[in-house]
Amino acid sequence: MHKKEIYTAGKELREAEKVLVLIHGRGGSAKEFLSLANQLNTSDFAILAPQATDFTWYPNSFLAPLAQNEPEYSSALEVLEELLEEIKETGIASENIYFAGFSQGACLTLEFVTRNAQKFGGVAAFTGGLIGDKIYTENYSGDFNGTPIFIGTGDPDPHVPVERVEDSAEILREMNANVEVKIYQNRPHTISEYELKIANNFIFN
C-alpha cells in the first residue's frame, strides 16, 4: 500500500492558478521527476509529484491481470484520487489541472484520468496505455470534453506494445478527448525532446 508522500515545486498550491501532477515511472523518484516540469511550459504552475512507496506503483507489468497488481494498484489510484480532491478543495477547477507521467506512471496517469474523465487542462503520457490484461471499458466513465491528451511511444517498446497505445487512444477519443499519438521508430524507453516539444505545443501552450 502507498503512503501519501507528495513532493512539490513551482508555485504554492494556494497561490497557483494551474497545477501539474507528475507521476514517475517504475523505480523512479518523485523528487527527481519534478525536474521534468523545467522542460515544460509550466513556470506559473504548482507542481505536485506523488511518490510511490518502494518506488513502484504496482508490482507486475501493466498488462498483467488486474488482481496480480493488487493491492498496490488500487492504492495508487486512491493516492491520485485524494490528491485531485485536495487540489479542487483549494478552488482550482479541473480544467486547470494537468497530468504528466512516464512509463508505469504514464499508464497510471491514463488509467486514472479515464476512470475520472472530465475537462482537464491536459494529459501527457510519455510511453503508456490503459491498464489490464485487456481493456476494461466498464471501469471508465465521464466526458473529457475536449481535453488534449498526448501519448508518445517507441516502436518497439520493451514495456508498452503499440497496439495497446492505439486501443487506449481510441477509447479516449470515444470519451471526447482530443488525442494526439506519436509513435517513434526504434526510440529507446525514455522521454525524447520531440515528445516534450509536442507536449508543450499541444498541451502547455
- Dihedral of CA 114/73/30/164: which sign? negative
- The answer to whether 100 and 124 are in contact (CB under 8 A) is yes
Residues 6+ apart with CB under 8 A from 131: 62, 66, 69, 73, 107, 108, 110, 111
Query: Against a cut of 0.95, is the pTM above it?
Result: yes
Amino acid present at 114: T
DSSP label at 150?
E
Listing DSSP states for 30-88 in one string gives HHHHGGGGGGTT-TTEEEEEEPPGGG-SSSS-TTS-GGGGTTHHHHHHHHHHHHHHHHH
At 158, is the secondary structure helix, strand, or coil? Answer: coil
Residue 125 to residue 110: CA distance in whole angstroms: 7
Supply the angle between the helices 104-115 and 72-89 in degrees, to the nearest 10.
60
**Per-residue tens of pLDDT for the chain, all 205 residues:** 999 999 999 999 999 999 999 999 999 999 999 999 999 999 999 999 999 999 999 999 999 999 999 999 999 999 999 999 999 999 999 999 999 999 999 999 999 999 999 999 999 999 999 999 999 999 999 999 999 999 999 999 999 999 999 999 999 999 999 999 999 999 999 999 999 999 999 999 9
Sole residue written with cell 506523488: 50
Nearby residues of 89 by Cβ (< 8 Å), 6 or more positions away: none
Please give the Cα distance from 112 to 9 (Å, whole number).
22
DSSP state of 121: S
How confident is the model at residue 198, as a pLDDT?
98
- Spell out the domains of the chain, with CATH numbers in brackets: 5-203 (3.40.50.1820)
| pLDDT value, residue 23 | 98
